[in-house]
Amino acid sequence: MLSAIRKKATGWIAWIIVILISIPFALWGVNSYFEGATQIVIAVANDVEINQSDYQRALAQKQRQLVQLAGRDLGTEYLDSPVFKRQVVESMIDEALEREFSRDRGFRISDDQLKRFIQTTETFHTNGQFDTERYERLVGNAGLSLEGFQAQQRQQLAVDQMRTSLAETAFVSQRELDYVLKLLNQERTAVYAVLALEDFLKGVKITDEDISNEFDAKRAVYVEPPQVRVAYVELSVSRLAAAIRIDDSEVKKHYDDAPRRYSKPGSRSASHILLPLVADAGAAAEEAARAKAARLVSEARGGADFAELARTHSKDSGSATRGGDLGVIQKGAMVPPFEKAVFALSAGEISEPVKTEFGYHVIKVTRVSKTEAMPFEDVREDIATALRRRAGEAEFVQLAEQLGNISFEQPDSLEPLTDQLGLAIQTSDWFNEAKGTGIAANPKVRKGAFSDEVLVDGLNSSLIEIDPDTLIVFRKLKHRERRPMLLEEVSERIKTMLENRQAMLALEQAGNAILTALTDGIPWSELLARYGLVEASLPAAVEEITDPQEQAIAVKVFAAPHPGAGAPVFGGGQISPEVFAIYRLDAVTVGDLSAIKQEERERVRTAILRRQGDLLFDGFRADLRKAADVTIFDDRL
């Protein structure tokens, strides 16, 4: 058939074939052959489609964030679980609805606002200064174009703008503030004692018969699941980088070519007084603000205390209580007119009134430090490491493609990867489908090792990403079938389990018996002596309680009702599986409002307002979701 077609595919027949092929190219474009007609949609919210590529990117980003926060010990099963994936999709739906709402209500971010946000993001800074090269590299590493990243940030900033406007409607009354301050500054006088599991373990006796009976009753539990060991090769950026040699001349050239990067940037500390301008207030109001700013300039230059002027006249609540102090200011951190004025002044000088989008400012520069070049010897090794890393990343990208191709084309052995790429073959420990160590701590490895491709057919695995900098390919080395475990293999485990079970029961019974006795009127000291417990005093103020065990006890103590006249309150309970605590609350002292400084009042007021703002936004988000038409395709996650 094919040969017949080939013979006839000349002349007018060939032209017909060409025309037939050209029609879809003309109507839908070449990309339709390579990208498919549509993106795979994993959810729809109010006609806004969330496609699979965006979801995969968001999923990977969230996984990286959690690993960075919790470390490599974070359970990787959770990161691959349907529950986690569903949470990511739900979050993306909420964000899509928020963007839709903010766009429909006219929230917009200007180019200057976007630029200022990006340039003040510390992630993109090197030695305190915005680093264009670092910015472009990090955005690229995240799988985004600069235009895509900026569009993403513009949308998020518009949502943040909406969130801020909603949060600003929150308020707190003086009565509410006083109530919270009294609670926060409340002190409680209490003593406590703890019963520890280890004391009850001493009296537990487990016989061989107990162990045998437990084993016989739960034989189905004591089974070793199928296990496997694999041989694997690993391609990692760190190993590639470590093998790369960088000449000193290259290091020195990099240092000379980027003097700004290897210098301690100059900075200035400044204070200011802000006189805000109300939108559309008119020329008269603006002139009044400018005239007042000019008067304050004259007073400050005439010897008046600038900090006191700021506390009295500045409407910047964040800095006014600190005498107008803004701390260290570096280039790119402030709006241009403000920044220009700050960097034009010498230490101790006071500016003329400076107008910005926020109002009129009176600025005083309090400290000036010049940019200082960092000695080459101090940064030599850092530069060499960075260059090795960069070269390692480039080599990694090149070798990763070869690794995938070779292992796929020659799936019966890892030897070609050793011969052609110089990767050493390593071996794992035994692991099962649910649990493993080393590379087998990764659920993708465990899942792949027990796939038919690897376990049954004996082929190389597909390329597995352990982390963004590490790829592996593996194959089955040895396999053990599921088998019942022998009594002698699990007897120690059973013994420990039975000991803990009995001791925990005895601990709980003893703790509850003490609480009952205290309620019946038996003296505190008598019970402590009877059970051999040691009394300890709980710090009266919450901020003084730093010990984790005391913090758990304090939760119970500060939740207890106030004691009556001469009648303490007793209570307690398990604060962990190993500890049962009892306490005696003797007195409660309400916080003294007259002793609370204005700074603390403002800090607490701000915290309450922030919390109320968060609750308002959470309610708003819930209403958006309730009113939305949402469909999630779980089978595509």
String of DSSP letters for 99-158: HHHHHHTT----HHHHHHHHHT-GGGEETTEE-HHHHHHHHHHTT--HHHHHHHHHHHHH
| pTM of the shown model | 0.52
The answer to whether the beta carbons of residues 70 and 79 sit under 8 Å apart is no
What pLDDT digit, counting tens, does each position of 561-614 carry?
Answer: 999 877 899 999 999 999 999 999 999 998 888 888 888 888 888 888 888 888
What pLDDT digit, counting tens, does each position of 423-482 carry?
Answer: 999 999 999 998 999 999 999 999 999 999 999 999 999 999 988 889 999 999 999 999
Alpha-carbon dihedral sign for residues 362, 368, 374, 379: negative
pLDDT band at 162 (very low <50, low <70, confident <90, very high): confident
Please identify which residue in the block is written with the tokens 């180019």. Answer: 111
What pLDDT digit, counting tens, does each position of 340-352 carry?
Answer: 899 889 889 999 9
Please identify which residue in the block is written with the tokens 């006219």. Answer: 106
Residue 511 has pLDDT above 60, yes or no: yes
Please identify which residue in the block is written with the tokens 């011969």. Answer: 419
Token readout for 503 is: 């001791």
For residue 542, what is the DSSP state? G
Alpha-carbon distance 175 to 177, whole Å?
5
**Per-residue pLDDT averaged across 371-385, rounded?**
86
Report CA-CA distances (Å) from 255 to 129, 245, 379, 598. Answer: 16, 17, 9, 50
Tell me what pLDDT residue 66 has. 77
Asked: is 43-169+629-636 a CATH 1.10.4030.10 domain? The reply is yes
CB contact set of 625 (below 8 Å; sequence gap of 6+): 93, 94, 97
Residues forming beta bridges with residue 356, ordered by sequence position: 359
The answer to whether the beta carbons of residues 428 and 232 sit under 8 Å apart is yes
Residue 2 has pLDDT above 80, yes or no: no
Bigger pLDDT: 82 or 36?
A: 82
Tell me what pLDDT residue 213 has. 95
- For the ranges 93-102, 181-190, 446-455, the one whose mean pLDDT is highest: 446-455
**Per-residue pLDDT averaged across 151-173, rounded?**
84
**Per-residue pLDDT averaged across 231-254, rounded?**
92
Token readout for 401 is: 């493609």
Residue 32 has pLDDT above 60, yes or no: no
Report CA-CA distances (Å) from 492 to 26, 211, 293, 486, 495. Answer: 74, 9, 80, 12, 5
Tell me what pLDDT residue 601 has. 87
**CA trace torsion 383, 388, 394, 398 (10° rounding):** 180
Token readout for 430 is: 């035994």
What pLDDT digit, counting tens, does each position of 99-156 carry?
Answer: 888 888 888 888 888 888 888 888 888 877 888 888 888 888 777 788 888 888 888 8
Tell me what pLDDT residue 7 has. 41
| Amino acid present at 222 | Y
Token readout for 209 is: 């018969």
What pLDDT digit, counting tens, does each position of 52-90 carry?
Answer: 888 888 888 888 777 766 655 555 667 778 888 999 999
Tell me what pLDDT residue 14 has. 47
**Per-residue pLDDT averaged across 506-521, rounded?**
95
Helix (H) or strand (E) holding 236: strand 227-236
**Entry field: residues in the chain:** 637
- 3-class state of residue 576 by DSSP: strand
pLDDT band at 3 (very low <50, low <70, confident <90, very high): very low
Q: Where are the domains of the chain?
A: 2-35, 43-169+629-636, 187-219+488-589, 223-248+382-484, 266-370
Strands (E) in 121-208, as ranges, are 125-126, 129-130, 187-196
Other beta carbons within 10 angstroms of residue 308's beta carbon come to 13
Residue 18 has pLDDT above 50, yes or no: no
Token readout for 296 is: 């304050």
What pLDDT digit, counting tens, does each position of 527-563 carry?
Answer: 999 999 999 999 988 888 889 999 999 999 999 999 9
Asked: is 266-370 a CATH 3.10.50.40 domain? The reply is yes
Token readout for 603 is: 């800090």
Long-range contacts of 46-52 (CB under 8 A, 24+ apart): 46/96, 46/97, 46/100, 46/628, 46/629, 46/630, 47/629, 48/96, 48/97, 48/100, 50/89, 50/92, 50/93, 50/96, 52/636
The answer to whether the beta carbons of residues 429 and 440 sit under 8 Å apart is yes
Tell me what pLDDT residue 546 has. 87
Mean pLDDT score across all residues of the chain? 86
Alpha-carbon dihedral sign for residues 196, 202, 205, 206: positive
**Per-residue pLDDT averaged across 306-328, rounded?**
88
**Per-residue pLDDT averaged across 221-234, rounded?**
95
Alpha-carbon distance 517 to 138, whole Å?
64
pLDDT band at 278 (very low <50, low <70, confident <90, very high): low
